[in-house]
């Protein structure tokens, strides 16, 4: 093994000593402010509305579970009620909530994804509930292998996903519940993702998420096409909107960062992530939330704000290692 020069070793030790531990974030760190915000908001919806919601108990809670999985401080009280709800998938359809975001197919996908992350974070140990949740999700798959959600819209939103993101997230939950047990619907989703035509940025990112780990020629070709759209759509100062030549939005940027995080072989990846993170951090509100991404833009929606904030926090968490690597000159990108 090659030796490390003494000066470099001392510098590395100093950086590591100065870096916060996994559970320690400065109170003003963007991730810490987002965790504090979502930690307040996730349980508040059920307390005030007597029902659970996809935006609070799905997307937003999932971000808190991701933070807890990384060892960051997330109060148990922020997620305890959500976990109890998620562990009863048979009751998800009898939620009591109603309104434009009460799509039962999408709700099952969002709640199942949150339960998978709760288990991964050690906040639930109910593998049986995960299997039952995945069974519900699998039952909603349509012929061809996708999950049809918000299909009439030109582009999905944080709280409505769209078919490509719904399919990628549904597939992830089936894998978490049992790749052998759910082999047939997973394979059908894989075939659909390899043929999906991404006509907007979140769809392109969703296909990359769904094809993570796939190395066959058909998947590689689809990934290249998605990356080409991401390349063309990056805003001048970083971040992404739903289409090329549209202003950057927190949700679209977050989904792209999540898609890029595990793909270290892409030449432009480091710059894309650095600029995308900078956009998210600059657009975060003082209370830790993000301005909601709506379709059309500049709307006002609590549901979209919670989902947007959940996705944005997940993106910052997924790319935290980029900040650590910047602290050490010559670190591998």
Helices (H), the chain: 6-18, 30-49, 54, 61-69, 76-86, 104-120, 127-139, 163-177, 183-195, 201-210, 217-233, 250-260, 269-283, 302-318, 320-326
Phi, psi of 100 (to 5 degrees): -70, -20
Q: What pLDDT, on a 0 to 100 scale, did the predictor assign at position 24?
A: 63
Q: What pLDDT, on a 0 to 100 scale, did the predictor assign at position 23?
A: 57
CA distance 42 to 58: 9
Residues 6+ apart with CB under 8 A from 50: 96
CATH fold of 25-319 reads Glycosyltransferase (1.50.10)
CA distance 271 to 290: 22
Query: Where are the domains positioned within the chain?
Result: 25-319
Q: Which DSSP symbol is given to 318? A: H
pLDDT values of the chain reduced to their tens digit, one per residue, 333 residues: 444 333 333 333 333 333 344 456 898 999 999 999 999 999 999 999 999 999 999 999 999 999 999 999 999 999 999 999 999 999 999 864 444 556 999 999 999 999 999 999 999 999 999 999 999 999 999 999 999 998 888 999 999 999 999 999 999 999 999 999 999 999 999 999 999 999 999 999 999 999 999 999 999 999 999 999 999 999 999 999 999 999 999 999 999 999 999 999 999 999 999 999 999 999 999 999 999 999 999 999 999 999 999 999 999 999 998 765 554 444 433
Q: Name the nearest CA neighbour of 52 among 133, 111, 140.
A: 111
The whole-model pTM stands at 0.90
Q: What pLDDT, on a 0 to 100 scale, did the predictor assign at position 102?
A: 67
Q: What pLDDT, on a 0 to 100 scale, did the predictor assign at position 325?
A: 57
Longest dimension (CA), the chain: 63
Measured in residues, the chain has a length of 333
Structure token pair of residue 52: 């659970």
Q: How far is CA 319 from the centre of its chain?
A: 11
In the block, tokens 């909530």 appear at: 97
Q: Name the nearest CA neighbour of 249 among 239, 261, 259.
A: 239
Cα radius of gyration (the chain)? 19
Q: How far is CA 195 from the centre of its chain?
A: 22
Q: What pLDDT, on a 0 to 100 scale, did the predictor assign at position 150?
A: 86
pLDDT digits (tens, 9 = 90+) for 127-162: 999 999 999 999 999 999 999 998 888 999 999 999
Q: What pLDDT, on a 0 to 100 scale, did the predictor assign at position 18?
A: 36
Contact 120, 270 (CB under 8 A): no
- The CA-CA-CA angle for residues 223, 120, 137, to 5°, reads 65
């Amino acid at each position: 093994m090659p030796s490390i020069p003494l000066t470099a070793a001392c510098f590395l030790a100093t950086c590591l000593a100065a870096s916060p531990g996994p559970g320690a974030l400065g109170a003003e760190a963007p991730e810490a402010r987002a965790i504090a915000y979502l930690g307040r908001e996730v349980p508040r919806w059920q307390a005030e509305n007597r029902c659970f919601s996809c935006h609070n108990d799905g997307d937003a809670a999932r971000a808190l579970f991701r933070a807890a999985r990384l060892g960051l401080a997330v109060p148990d009280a922020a997620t305890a009620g959500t976990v109890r709800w998620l562990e009863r998938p048979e009751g998800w359809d009898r939620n009591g909530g109603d309104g434009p975001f009460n799509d039962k197919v999408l709700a099952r996908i969002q709640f199942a994804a949150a339960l998978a992350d709760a288990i991964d974070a050690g906040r639930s140990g109910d593998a049986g509930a995960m299997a039952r949740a995945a069974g519900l999700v699998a039952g909603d798959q349509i012929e061809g292998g996708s999950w049809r959600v918000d299909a009439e819209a030109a582009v999905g939103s944080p709280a409505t996903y769209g078919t490509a993101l719904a399919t990628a997230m549904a597939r992830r939950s089936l894998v978490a519940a049992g790749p052998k047990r759910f082999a047939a619907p997973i394979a059908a989703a894989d075939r659909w993702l390899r043929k999906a035509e991404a006509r907007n940025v979140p769809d392109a990112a969703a296909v990359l998420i769904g094809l993570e780990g796939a190395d066959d020629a058909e998947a590689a070709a689809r990934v290249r096409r998605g990356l080409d759209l991401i390349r063309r759509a990056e805003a001048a100062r970083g971040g992404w909107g739903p289409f090329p030549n549209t202003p950057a939005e927190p949700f679209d940027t977050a989904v792209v960062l999540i898609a890029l995080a595990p793909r270290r072989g892409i030449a432009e990846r480091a710059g894309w992530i650095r600029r995308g993170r900078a956009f998210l951090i600059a657009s975060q509100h003082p209370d830790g939330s993000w301005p909601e991404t709506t379709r059309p833009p500049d709307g006002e929606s609590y549901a979209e704000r919670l989902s947007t904030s959940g996705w944005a926090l997940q993106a910052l968490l997924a790319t935290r290692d980029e900040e650590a690597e910047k602290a050490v000159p010559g670190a591998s990108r």
